Amino acid sequence: MGERKGTNKYYPPDFNPEKHGSLNRYHNSHPLRERARKLSQGILIIRFEMPYNIWCDGCKNHIGMGVRYNAEKKKVGNYYTTPIYRFRMKCHLCINYIEMQTDPANCDYVIVSGAQRKEERWDMEDNEQVLTTEHEKKQKLETDAMFRLEHGEADRGTLRKALPTLSHIQEAQSAWKDDFALNSLLRRKFREKKKAIQEEEERDQALQAKASLSIPLVPETEDDRRLAALLKFHTLDSYEDKQKLKRTEIISRSWFPAAPGACTHSKASSVLRKLSQQSRRALPTSSPISVGDLGIVRRNQTREAPESPQDATETPKAGELRAP
Ligand SMILES: [Zn+2]
């Protein structure tokens, strides 16, 4: 607000331009008013902005970059012809005073007292960047032979330290050097795989066509193979064998029709005989139609059928009827 006082253009009645010259001199004040109150000590009060993040030593609080203070600015020295200014300001959170000054050599501000800098500067050496050779060093390398020798020795030492790592990397690279062979190996492997897949697909398609299946086939497993082997249907005889067997049976058969009641021919008839004997044993009467137990109806029985149509099925009954 101090500046605004200077903009007051009121000239009082006793103002004499020849005597006073200006309003400032009439008021006996500095054009910068309050800001210049310590001018006798060489201090001017200015607005100072924090150039980077700091921690206050008094309250240990973090003060961010850009916080503004009313600071006392004072010239403390020179860097060549550039003046070095020092700024003194009170922390806005405590009673501690922070002092900073310019550093023209590095185009930076340095903290003199009352705070600590939060280090956020990029350090090339810390980050393992290749450092540029300084101008002074370059000059020395060109003129000082002894320095050049020592410098070269240090460089060779660095090389010796890095050499094992480098050779390791080279060995690792050489393993991949013959890329043609590696590539062909890989391609051959893929080709074999592809061929196997194709063969399997063809086999599947053939099976599907044979069984007229439209469902997709899952890959065959060892269990499936074992189960299929157990389920496999084995015919004992071939077609020719079966034919031969039938033929011999026909040949060995009697040419004449069997006598009624007497079953003499073929394997089946022998079985029937056995069964009829059993039924005869069970029944008190020996009826010729006892074979009807088996549900087999014969010609001689059919002739008697009109008497009782259930003859064939219910033999015991028929036998009883006939007995009297
Ligand atoms: Zn503080």
* DSSP-assigned states of every residue in 238-259: -HHHHHHHHHHHHHHS-SSPPP
93 and 70 housed in the same domain: yes
165 and 188 housed in the same domain: no
Q: Which residue has the higher pLDDT, 88 or 147?
A: 88
Model pLDDT for residues 210-255, shown as the tens digit of each residue: 888 888 888 888 888 888 888 766 666 688 888 999 999 999 988 8
Model pLDDT for residues 148-167, shown as the tens digit of each residue: 888 888 889 888 888 888 88
How far apart are the C-alpha atoms of 293 and 76, rounded to whole Å? Answer: 141
The reply to whether 22 falls in a domain is: no
The reply to whether 321 falls in a domain is: no
CA torsion through residues 309, 312, 313, 317, sign:
positive
Cβ distance 91 to 99 under 8 Å?
no
97 and 158 housed in the same domain: no
How far apart are the C-alpha atoms of 216 and 220, rounded to whole Å? Answer: 12
Confidence label for 290 from pLDDT (cuts 50, 70 and 90): low
The reply to whether 76 falls in a domain is: yes
The reply to whether 69 falls in a domain is: yes
Overall average pLDDT of the 112-124 stretch: 90
Model pLDDT, residue 57: 94
* CA of 44 relative to ligand 1 center, distance in Å: 23
Angle (nearest 5°) at CA 87 between 86 and 90: 150
The reply to whether 73 falls in a domain is: yes
Q: Rounded to the nearest 10 degrees, how much is the dihedral formed by the CA atoms of 191, 194, 200, 201? A: -140
166 and 211 housed in the same domain: no
162 and 185 housed in the same domain: no
The burial of 71, by beta-carbon neighbours within 10 Å (0-12 exposed, 13-18 middle, 19 or more buried), is given as buried
* CA of 85 relative to ligand 1 center, distance in Å: 22
Give the H or E element holding residue 321: helix 315-322
The reply to whether 5 falls in a domain is: no
Q: Which residues surround ligand 1, an ion (CB under 5 A)?
A: 56, 58-59, 91, 93-94, 96
Structure tokens given for 218: 């899952």
The reply to whether 250 falls in a domain is: no
CB-based contacts of 308, cutoff 8 Å, min separation 6: 317, 318, 321
How far apart are the C-alpha atoms of 73 and 75, rounded to whole Å? Answer: 7
* CA of 98 relative to ligand 1 center, distance in Å: 8
60 and 112 housed in the same domain: yes
By C-alpha distance, which of 321, 260, 259, 311 is closest to 285? 321
96 and 111 housed in the same domain: yes
68 and 90 housed in the same domain: yes
73 and 102 housed in the same domain: yes
Domain span including residue 157? 135-174
pTM: 0.41
185 and 163 housed in the same domain: no
* CA of 119 relative to ligand 1 center, distance in Å: 18
Split into its structural domains, the chain has a count of 3
* CA of 146 relative to ligand 1 center, distance in Å: 52
Overall average pLDDT of the 265-280 stretch: 53
91 and 112 housed in the same domain: yes
Task: Name which of 64-68, 135-139, 200-204, 228-232 the model is least confident about.
Answer: 228-232
Overall average pLDDT of the 119-141 stretch: 81
Confidence label for 286 from pLDDT (cuts 50, 70 and 90): very low
Overall average pLDDT of the 298-317 stretch: 46
The reply to whether 110 falls in a domain is: yes
Q: How many Cα atoms within 13 Å fall on the side-chain side of residue 136? A: 0
165 and 183 housed in the same domain: no
Model pLDDT, residue 322: 45
* CA of 15 relative to ligand 1 center, distance in Å: 48
